[in-house]
Structure 1
């Protein structure tokens, strides 16, 4: 048998594991419009789904993380009630499953959904209910998927310890970890040490948005002082790698590359990198897809994973992110399988559940595609 062509239709069939996807960054444009009408929100910049989708994509293409984050004001505004949160979570699962995702960790910041009087617990309960209903719907369509939740604290706010406690309180009900997010500049992860210490004291897992906009100092703090399990993005670890002269990002070998102490630590400790190619270009973390360090990191055997970040803002899905990598770096099915196994191994599920999905879902799925 010969391998299937690496086109979008076949890429959609590939089983995928997704570790970095924001709930409030993945709404359907039509849902944003309907929820806005339901809650009488009048701030949307367009009144039809196609125009709204275009606005989100073009506004996110600012080249700075701060401007990119401004687009979330509209999605968060329409996610302030239990029914709205449940609907968005259910549709998120359905959309991921339709794209061949078999495991996903979807994150959101509960503290941003309290404007209409919900408590933090009620917010999380609503989202988890939506995830559960989405899983049932997807299984009924022959696309089984497991979705778990990461609760995020905003790094410019002062509720991280409270959100960490929320993560532990719900960890046997669908929440598998904790995260901090938001503008990196001026908001170092060490501001939230008490939250990370609480997570470690309770044997709980966490990732940190680091090395996206702020670079190596952010990565160093996340690892050395906070003790994170994964790096959200982490793309600027490339700043600690010296490449041989004249070697392009699309090369097949980077023999002779010299790793600094931070890069060596990330690779040696197998710290997973939650890389988001399209988003990393939009926020200015990298100059272009052709120059994205994904390939360098992958061929130097860092534990790279492929992620969407914000499907609405980047107008993307996991199949599209795979296609971008295939087109720019010449990857084949075995490479995509490795990236998927990397992600599944790096998930916050218990070990036996990770192995089951790898052995029973991911490997058989790629075997069909590889031929």
Structure 2
């Protein structure tokens, strides 16, 4: 992998990063993790040195504070956000506090663009909550909790209520997008200066029945967006109107190879910083039981032309159930968390095509589900 990463350089050397790996720890989730694993990682992604194993229950999503001195860790399946002290020199973590997440099963969180609030998606209670940041970057109790309402999808188990799975601000910071698996919808909210959330039902986008929109991303130029739908393993392309805060559906494609006929669930989606490629991970049937099985877990790569997705191709992941992945800070590789493979895989990206190369297992760690990169020597997270 070293030669491949070096071949992708533009003359600069990518910096070292601290990588924080959140994990599943509970028996209910068949978790094998211990909490948050802290690694110091070389710029070429070859050397992953573990510097701390921080015990914490189900830290399934991680966000860094504006200064990087604090990390917020949601309690997957619980109802709290934990506030952790972070030493910016050593990367080590310590416990400060925990606060109410404004619902149950928080799965995702994001800072408002001005850094004054943390917004949390609570999956099981169907709520979106706003928590204020204090002067020391600890969190106060929720100042706004919005219950999402609408028509439920037909699946009796997976769509028995609102199921928000992500909170994402549009590039202008004026609108908050919330993909909801329970109602096959993407909600578009606004947040006032005091943290109050409001929703205009006229902005809500309803997708195909039992599709389960899970995550949504924007193009670097802010004109387009794409979402991954969990239940059908599809990806939807949109135009984005930043003035009116509205999405317009343009395209719906399968994120699966044509040979895939078994059960599969879409997981994560990301756009390369250059805007030319979109990536989607699929958790597929027997691939959850045996890596490289007849229906293996895959990552799909699409070329982007005027917001549309073209020329799909696939690679098999290095481990089982790629629940989450990120493009590394240098833009040279995909870093994949294999929830049931208990490992972190790295796929070097070919610059001419954007396609992921053969994966390498970079680290082993129990039930990884979240990755947070913070470059060594800087205050803020990069990705």
The normalised TM-score by structure 2 is 0.30
Whichever structure has more strand as a proportion of its residues is: 2
Whichever structure has more helix as a proportion of its residues is: 1
